[in-house]
Chain A
Amino acid sequence: GAGVSQTPSNKVTEKGKYVELRCDPISGHTALYWYRQSLGQGPEFLIYFQGTGAADDSGLPNDRFFAVRPEGSVSTLKIQRTERGDSAVYLCASGIGTHTDTQYFGPGTRLTVL
């Protein structure tokens, strides 16, 4: 079956611009996670959705970052006034949303802020 998909695979933008990154989870998965992976680091948790609501957004670094999941399926991560330090691979994962759950990761979106 289809896995988690993310679009675009690569995004290059200029400092100060707004970007949107999209995640399509595995069908039927109610849990959706966003992570950010900087070069040479492990993934860093950003936000977790259970259904349409953000159950835990404690990892969002500041108010320039926002994510939505209006219908409980596709999610969009939005970054305002991008900075060069936002350059990273943004990973999305989905799962059934329990503590024993396996998180299934997408291929990521590589964001480069010039």
Chain B
Amino acid sequence: AQSVTQLDSQVPVFEEAPVELRCNYSSSVSVYLFWYVQYPNQGLQLLLKYLSGSTLVESINGFEAEFNKSQTSFHLRKPSVHISDTAEYFCAVSDLIAPGGGADGLTFGKGTHLIIQP
């Protein structure tokens, strides 16, 4: 069984300051890792994902996340946040090999509400 822990339910940060949203996972098998974002009054959308290769992955809007296998972490970072980054951020995992041999559902964390203060 998999689980995802996002320890921080809320992270307030000033505009243009750096931010890190923490994500730790537990799984008995290798996993794929995802960050999804939910902007106010919008649906969930993919921010970035780690499948294989380089452990550092980047999004188009300046976020990055690093897969750390030894620490079972996939923390999300941005060096300078903007007011438009205010949203709920969800970390999620998927088994490399699903029980049925195909894609299965994602296991999500509880989410972290990023609050940007002017």
B4 interface residue, CB < 8 Å from A? yes
Interface size class for chain A?
A: 20 to 34
B110 interface residue, CB < 8 Å from A? yes
Interface residues of B in 3-35 (CB under 8 A from A): 4, 6, 9, 32
A41 interface residue, CB < 8 Å from B? yes
Are A45 and B105 in touch, CB under 8 angstroms?
A: yes
Are B110 and A40 in touch, CB under 8 angstroms?
A: yes
Contacts of B97 in A (CB 8 A): 99
Complex CA gap A99/B105 in Å reads: 10
Contacts of A28 in B (CB 8 A): none
B56 interface residue, CB < 8 Å from A? no
Contacts of B42 in A (CB 8 A): 107
Interface centre among B32, B49, B104 (most CB of A within 10 A): B104
Residue of A nearest to B105 (CB): A45
Residue of B nearest to A59 (CB): B105
Are A95 and B103 in touch, CB under 8 angstroms?
A: yes
Are B96 and A103 in touch, CB under 8 angstroms?
A: no
Are A99 and B96 in touch, CB under 8 angstroms?
A: yes
